């Protein structure tokens, strides 16, 4: 089954304790990205990657890192989490297909709480 | 990026058609209109997209105004499972796909049994 998986689905942590949220897709997609969703602010893009070893900042990259060493994986790293990073996080992927066709496949989400 | 305007919420009855409007008066000629929806406790999912002509797929239909300043997502027979937040999103034509999706607040659709 074609899918995007994220782990963990739920995480409660404390300020400053480094954490990684993993994202994996099995559709051989070139493009992957991370979003965060907050009430009243909608979904905002954090980082994206157009292919292996190619990453770039989205709208809200501060406090996050990413890496793309393999095509299928795109982990999100919080080196020193803070309470304002408490949010619902989604990973998404898509292929570099038809012009104008932007079907992105989203993972199930990771609910992160930073105390 | 051009902005979209949607009603905050709409209600429908099960098995009736639903018309979800979206205004995008500043749309440019190279903008595509995409619709996504987000079911409770899930990630967003693609519904449909179009450029100028009306489009149909197994999930919905997309009616685009002749001047492209508005569009309507049509669910022909709403089911309880269609209760979700529906997002109308404009995406800029690019040489390759895969780009940022700028989500607004969307329309919360409630479907009554």
Which regions in chain B score pLDDT beneath 70?
1-2, 93-99
Residues in chain B: 113
Task: Supply the DSSP symbol for B29.
Answer: T
A92 Cα to chain B: minimum distance (Å): 9
> Model confidence over A59-107: pLDDT tens digits?
999 999 999 999 999 999 999 999 999 999 999 998 876 666 778 999 9
Contact between chains at B94 and A94 (C-beta distance less than 8 A):
no
Instruction: Give the residue on B whose Cα is nearest the Cα of A101.
Output: B97
Mutation target to probe the A interface, by most A beta carbons within 10 A, among B98, B100, B103, B108 is B98
A84 Cα to chain B: minimum distance (Å): 20
Instruction: Tell whether A45 lies on the interface with B, counting CB pairs under 8 A.
Output: yes
> Model confidence over A46-55: pLDDT tens digits?
999 988 999 9
Instruction: Tell whether A49 lies on the interface with B, counting CB pairs under 8 A.
Output: no
pLDDT at A103: 86
Contact between chains at B43 and A42 (C-beta distance less than 8 A):
no
Instruction: Determine the Cα–Cα distance for residues B103 and B44; give it in Å rounded to an integer.
Output: 10
* Full strand arrangement of the beta sheet holding B61-64: B18-23, B70-75, B61-64, B55-56
Main-chain dihedrals φ then ψ at residue A85, nearest 5 degrees: -100, 5
Contact between chains at B97 and A107 (C-beta distance less than 8 A):
no
């Amino acid at each position: 089954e074609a899918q995007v998986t994220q782990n963990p689905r739920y995480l409660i942590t404390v300020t400053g304790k480094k954490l990684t949220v993993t994202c994996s897709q099995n559709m051989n997609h070139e493009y992957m990205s991370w979003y965060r969703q907050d009430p009243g602010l909608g979904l905002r893009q954090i980082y994206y990657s157009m292919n292996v070893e190619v990453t770039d900042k989205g709208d809200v990259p501060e406090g996050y890192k990413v890496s793309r060493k393999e095509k299928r994986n795109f982990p999100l790293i919080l080196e020193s989490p803070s309470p304002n990073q408490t949010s619902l996080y989604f990973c998404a992927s898509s292929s570099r297909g038809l012009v104008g066709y932007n079907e992105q496949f989203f993972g199930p989400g990771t609910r992160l709480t930073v105390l | 990026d051009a902005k979209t305007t949607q009603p905050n919420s709409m209600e429908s009855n099960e098995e009736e058609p639903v018309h979800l409007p979206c205004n995008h008066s500043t749309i440019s000629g190279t903008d595509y209109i995409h619709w996504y929806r987000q079911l409770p406790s899930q990630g967003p999912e693609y519904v449909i997209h179009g450029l100028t002509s009306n489009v149909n797929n197994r999930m919905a239909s997309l009616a685009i105004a002749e001047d492209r300043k508005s569009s309507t997502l049509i669910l022909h027979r709403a089911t309880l499972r269609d209760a979700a937040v529906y997002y109308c999103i404009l995406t800029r034509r690019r040489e390759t796909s895969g780009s940022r999706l700028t989500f607004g607040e969307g329309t919360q659709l409630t479907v009554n049994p």
